[in-house]
Chain A
């Protein structure tokens, strides 16, 4: 494992907190894009030897999580002409605090699980759990469809970090399949966002509330 591996994980966790604390959609998307690039860098530094497959997975991660999806989201943002998240269900400071608490809990939880020797000294599992939790917080407390997609993306990033611990065990084909599925999922979500904005003149999912029990 490379010496910049853990610092990269710290960067990812700081980006988590940044996403929780900001209201500008542009910054939120940018942060998720940076996370994607960091994940690519993590992939090549995760294990000692560099095989062609590892490099390919890293490139695919950067291309999809760092470039393609953020572009799609930027385009969606421009199309629907919104800049900011409005009144999240939980304020920015409380959600920051929740994120920090979640990070602490993630560290404690991963202490209780038996780890492989290589992961014991590293932040890989705590940062994975913390990132998944951050994704959850964003998904459940934000109301713009685009922010929710970013939440889903961050959740996936957390899972990807966990996948890095399994780089030797996970076959190449599966890694690429997962990335491709993620891309298609976000692509379909992008189409739906577009339709939402056309139908409702807004991407506030609070408007999506005609379907419920009376």
Chain B
């Protein structure tokens, strides 16, 4: 069954390659997403998600949480595809549609693989299937963005492989008959060779940190998110970065099991604060609103790293934040794409008065801004508050103070750009409204409702899944204390 949920989207992707009609092909993406979501729901609600292939594919508590999240995030994004591509009939969409379907297969493989090597192959595949998505516009700027994404991303992934080899060496050195399954690595963690384990974690943090987009390894992000279609930005900032986090968390888990959780936590805390600070600096006076969203993604990845760095309740909050961020980024990127299309410009020089020309997208963009900067009653307020509470409870007063200050700076920086986009008089001679097809609005609205609901009410099953996943990561941790 786990294998099926990975193979099904690939099969639909192959059909997309074969279908001759560019008008009907985009509908295969939501079709594939529905199949994927249905299979995921069956796996999560029954016991059909048993480990397969000698344990290479398995769903732990972390995997279950992320599979559910990915399925929902991708499903909502997928319904944007037909509406979006209908507005771009001149562009060939064969490879675009197929790559979208391969992407969800690769992302599912990442969260479902419990083998060190298999997970790496899955991450690499997800990165490769993203490259044609970023290059969709086929102009020099998107070419530059794709090149940087490919090269920086490939080096990051290569380092992640190097780190995985370090970890394997730690296991071989300890004389363990290691299968490189995460279960075995976690079980044998206390006996792993410490110097190798520590070097492995540092290299893996740099490697997967590049994929996550933590500063200072984030340099590909503004270019890739700035040039890719908004839809791709939503999938990257919400889904793919979460997958990379899932990969990193597996190594955090091994560190905890080895009794070295403190090392992992300190590094993550430091990188989290650096990421938030870098994002805050570059978001001030940012005229390009899609690049602004990319820095917002750097900031939120920093917040998640910060939460995991606090540990305990902080990890719970970080995982909740990961979900909230995925949905909020959906609102922002999809509407930013709509606004970009209506004005033909993605800077505040050429865009103003979005609320008049594209009222639905403009309003959703504004609401998304409040959600993404964690204003109540949206979900991100709740998750950031949880992380802060954990920080104060564990005596991280300085760190919490910096955290609040950076959030305030980001709010002001982002706010000034968003206001200039939304308010004012639309430039140019054209007055009146641009038509907004339902399919380009409904998914963004769906994301907004999700992030609003999560802010008002976190259902029991979700909060249980979150605490299970947090406990799963911190198996051998002293509950959330200062090291």
Binding site for B on A (CB under 8 A): 112-116, 132, 139, 145, 148, 152, 155-156, 158-159, 162-163, 165-166, 168-171, 173-174, 177-178, 181, 184-185, 188-189, 192, 195-196, 199-200, 205, 208-211, 213-214
CB within 8 A of B147: which of A162, A177, A196? A196
Instruction: Give bound CA distance, A33 to B169, whole Å.
Output: 27
Instruction: Give bound CA distance, A148 to B287, whole Å.
Output: 31
CB–CB A188/B165 < 8 A: no
CB–CB B147/A205 < 8 A: yes
Binding site for A on B (CB under 8 A): 115, 117-118, 120-121, 124-125, 128, 131, 135, 138, 140-141, 143-148, 150-151, 154-155, 158, 161-162, 165-166, 168-169, 171-173, 178, 180, 193, 195-196, 199, 222-223, 226-227, 282, 287
Residues in chain B near residue A139, CB distance under 8 A: 151, 155
CB–CB B121/A192 < 8 A: no
Residues in chain B near residue A189, CB distance under 8 A: 150-151, 154
How many contacts A-B (CB < 8 Å)? 116
Instruction: Give bound CA distance, A2 to B80, whole Å.
Output: 59
CB–CB A177/B117 < 8 A: yes
Q: What are 17 residue pairs bridging A and B, where the CB atoms are less than 8 Å apart in the complex? A: A155-B158, A158-B162, A159-B158, A163-B165, A166-B169, A168-B172, A169-B172, A170-B168, A171-B180, A174-B180, A178-B117, A178-B120, A178-B161, A192-B131, A211-B145, A211-B223, A211-B227
CB–CB A195/B144 < 8 A: no
CB–CB B121/A159 < 8 A: no
CB–CB B143/A116 < 8 A: no
Instruction: Give bound CA distance, A163 to B168, whole Å.
Output: 9
CB within 8 A of A152: which of B151, B161, B172, B199? B151
CB within 8 A of A114: which of B158, B196, B222? B196
Closest residue on chain A to residue B123 by CB atoms: A181
Most buried by A among B120, B168, B196, B222: B168
* Shortest Cβ distance from residue B202 to the other chain A in the assembled complex, whole angstroms: 12
CB–CB A116/B150 < 8 A: no
CB–CB A188/B150 < 8 A: yes
CB–CB A208/B155 < 8 A: no
Closest residue on chain B to residue A195 by CB atoms: B143
Instruction: Give bound CA distance, A209 to B144, whole Å.
Output: 8
Instruction: Give bound CA distance, A188 to B133, whole Å.
Output: 12
Instruction: Give bound CA distance, A214 to B286, whole Å.
Output: 9
Q: What 4 additional pairs, Cβ within 8 angstroms, besides A174-B117, A200-B140, A208-B147?
A: A113-B195, A174-B180, A188-B150, A211-B223
Given A166-B172, A211-B141, residue A188 in contact with residue B117 (CB < 8 A):
no
CB–CB A113/B162 < 8 A: no
Closest residue on chain B to residue A196 by CB atoms: B143
Closest residue on chain B to residue A115 by CB atoms: B173
Instruction: Give bound CA distance, A213 to B128, whole Å.
Output: 26
5 interchain residue pairs of minimum CB distance: A174-B117, A177-B121, A208-B144, A181-B124, A211-B223
CB–CB A114/B155 < 8 A: no
Instruction: Give bound CA distance, A199 to B144, whole Å.
Output: 10
Residues in chain B near residue A168, CB distance under 8 A: 172
* Shortest Cβ distance from residue A121 to the other chain B in the assembled complex, whole angstroms: 15
Residues in chain A near residue B150, CB distance under 8 A: 185, 188-189, 192
Residues in chain B near residue A163, CB distance under 8 A: 165
Given A170-B168, A181-B124, residue A159 in contact with residue B196 (CB < 8 A):
no
Residues in chain B near residue A209, CB distance under 8 A: 144
CB–CB A199/B140 < 8 A: yes
Most buried by A among B141, B143, B145, B151: B151
Instruction: Give bound CA distance, A132 to B155, whole Å.
Output: 11
Closest residue on chain B to residue A177 by CB atoms: B121
Instruction: Give bound CA distance, A152 to B172, whole Å.
Output: 27
CB–CB A116/B173 < 8 A: yes
CB–CB B199/A211 < 8 A: no
CB within 8 A of B162: which of A162, A213, A214? A162
CB–CB B128/A188 < 8 A: yes
CB–CB B143/A152 < 8 A: no
Given A148-B151, A166-B168, residue A181 in contact with residue B125 (CB < 8 A):
yes
Most buried by A among B143, B145, B147: B147
CB within 8 A of B154: which of A115, A169, A185, A199? A185
Given A178-B161, A181-B121, A185-B124, residue A152 in contact with residue B147 (CB < 8 A):
no
